[in-house]
Amino acid sequence: MKKALIIYALLLVAFFLLQPTDYVHSFVNGINLWAVNVLPALFPFMVLSRLLAHTGDTVTSSQSSMKRVLGLPRVCWKLFLISCLCGYPIGAKLTEEFYSYGTFNRRHCYLMTALCSLPSPIFCAVTVGKLMFNNLLVGVVIYGSCVISSLILCILMNITFLREKSLIADEHTVADSTAIPSQQPLDNMNQSIMSILSVGAYIALFSVLCDMLTNITDSVSISNRSNLVMAYGLLEMTNGCSRAVQMIGGTTAMGLCAFYVASGGLCVYMQCLGYNRKCHLNGGKVAIIKLLQGAMAFIVSTAIIALFSL
């Protein structure tokens, strides 16, 4: 695995050196995309979400509807609402923090990967719906399908394949009650700044990678290039959505966009990777969970769009 990553890295460096001016421009475009579209929309929510999550409450492991249905502590309702409002990667960040407090165990973290790893409603409604499809309602449907798929997947995971012995045993490591520490405003601000800068770095990097993929496929005919829409979406969801609208269009493009934003693509996966590792989660399992969530969002959105003839 490490050898493969080294080979890929060397190939990327070689492509960069062949056209350094173009790829520096791609990197700058990624920074501009982050500064104009992501930073003003995400950073205020990131600061507020941390303030809301760290209220100094005491979290108990008592039975609740959240525990019975989803297998999660009651505090997860708060984190779910924050994730719904703020989008990637805030859910992963908050999951890692509550794991460090002893509120969550590894099984909870896997469930939270499905429940609280969601796109921003502003991105879905405005960027995808209004700007790409010229229909705000389409964006609302795509976002709704992401939320519905996350709930369905979390319930199914709680019932079925997360009944592993190691994870069940891990449940007993959670304390009966956990005091959630409140954070100083300056600490909250500093951690939010580091998180948003990390998001910007990944967006800039994947902007370069998407342009590299475009240059590699320039010699391919348009009919064959449309088959690469999936590759763009799995790499970075914004590029994938844009190309799905341009190259495919119609109901299929709407379903693909729901798949892309629900799964997040490799760019979002990398943004959340550091947080997931601190929770000792298996990267392959996390990837499968996100792909299943994307597939469910595709099915739900396609059904809604067909039912209401959007």
Q: What is the pLDDT of residue 83?
A: 86
Q: What is the pLDDT of residue 227?
A: 66
Q: Which residues of 33-56 are buried (b: 16+ CB within 10 A; e: fewer)?
A: bbeebbbebbbebbbebbebbbee
Q: What is the pLDDT of residue 218?
A: 65
Sites in the chain below the pLDDT cut of 50? 1, 58-62, 168-169, 172, 175-177
* Count of C-beta atoms within a 10 Å radius of residue 159: 11
Q: What is the pLDDT of residue 62?
A: 47
Residue 294: which of 268, 264, 250 has the closest Cα? 264
Q: What is the pLDDT of residue 38?
A: 72
d(C-alpha 181, C-alpha 163), whole Å: 31
Q: What is the pLDDT of residue 142?
A: 94
d(C-alpha 201, C-alpha 31), whole Å: 8
